[in-house]
Amino acid sequence: MAQIFHRSANSLARLSIIGVVVIVSVLLWAALEMQRSPYATYQDVAQAQPVPFSHQHHVAGDGIDCRYCHTSVENSSFAGIPPTKTCMNCHSRIWTNAPMLEPVRESFRSGKSLMWTRVNYLPDFVYFDHSIHVNKGVGCASCHGPVDKMPLTYEANSLQMEWCLECHRAPEKFLRPRDQVFNMAYQQPSSDNKVKFEGAEYTDQLALGNELKHRYNIRTVEDITSCSTCHR
C-alpha cells in the first residue's frame, strides 16, 4: 500500500505543535502584560473630573493638610470625599466668579453632590482600611504617590496584589512615625537625613522600621499576608 503522507509530514507536524505552543505562550504573556499595564490599571493616567481640582495647588501651594478634605481617613476604612461645603469654605470668598468653579457653586446651591471620577480603584472582593494603615505608620505618599505635585490626580501605583504584598512582606521598609504620615515632604532616614522618633535619631530605614513595627504592634508577616486579611 502506497504511503499516504510524505516523510516530511512528520517534521511539519512537529513544527506545528511547537508553533502552537509558542503562539499560546506569547498570547498568555501578552495578556498578563496588558493586565499589568496602564491600559488596565490606569496607572499614571489623569482622570477627567467635573472640576479640574489640583492637589498641587491646594497641598503644595496653599499648604492644606490631607485631613481637611479627607476627614475620615484616620478612623474609617474610607478616606472620605469632601462635601461641596468644604470647598465653599474658601471659594465663597476667593475665586467666586471663576467659570471652572461653576459646578461647585451649582452643587452648593442645589445640594446635589458633584460626581467625581474615582482615581484609586480596588475591586469589590478586596478589603482595604485606610485607618489601619494610617495608624500603623503608612504615609499617604506610599500608596498615592507625590499627590502634592499632581496638577490633575492620577493613580501613582498599580494597587495590584503583588504591589500590596511587597509592603506586607516587609513593612519595615516603608513605615514612618505617625506624626509624619501626612507629611508629603517626608524622607526616609539616611546618613544625610536623620529622623527623630521617641527621642532617638535614626539614619537607617530598617532600624527605624523595625522599631516602629514593635511600637505600633504590627502583626507578623504570616498574618498580614494571609488571604483573609484582604479577601473577606
List the domain range (segments joined by +) for residue 143.
Answer: 40-81+116-230
Q: Tell me, yes or no, whether 188 lies in a domain.
A: yes
Q: Tell me, yes or no, whether 130 lies in a domain.
A: yes
Question: Tens digit of pLDDT for each residue in 121-175?
Answer: 898 999 999 999 999 999 999 999 999 999 999 999 999 999 999 999 999 999 9
Q: Which has more confidence, 106 or 34?
A: 106
Euclidean distance between CA atoms 219 and 49, whole angstroms: 38
Over its C-alpha atoms, the chain yields an Rg (Å, rounded) of: 25
pLDDT surpasses 90 at 5: no
Residues 53 and 12 both lie in one domain: no
Q: Which has more confidence, 86 or 3?
A: 86
Residues 73 and 186 both lie in one domain: yes
Question: Tens digit of pLDDT for each residue in 187-203?
Answer: 999 999 999 999 999 99
Q: How many residues does the chain have?
A: 232
pLDDT surpasses 70 at 1: no
Interval 181-189 mean pLDDT: 97
Q: Tell me, yes or no, whether 205 lies in a domain.
A: yes
Q: Tell me, yes or no, whether 107 lies in a domain.
A: no
pLDDT surpasses 70 at 30: yes
Residues 147 and 195 both lie in one domain: yes
For the entire predicted model, the pTM comes to: 0.83
- Structural domain count, the chain: 2
Reported confidence tier of residue 41, pLDDT bands at 50, 70, 90: confident
Of 184, 181, 218, 179, the residue nearest 197 (C-alpha): 179
Residues 159 and 124 both lie in one domain: yes
Q: Tell me, yes or no, whether 101 lies in a domain.
A: no
Residues 15 and 70 both lie in one domain: no
Set of cell numbers at residue 26: 506569547
Mean pLDDT value across the chain: 93
Residues 28 and 57 both lie in one domain: no
Beta bridge partners of 200: 197
Q: Tell me, yes or no, whether 88 lies in a domain.
A: no
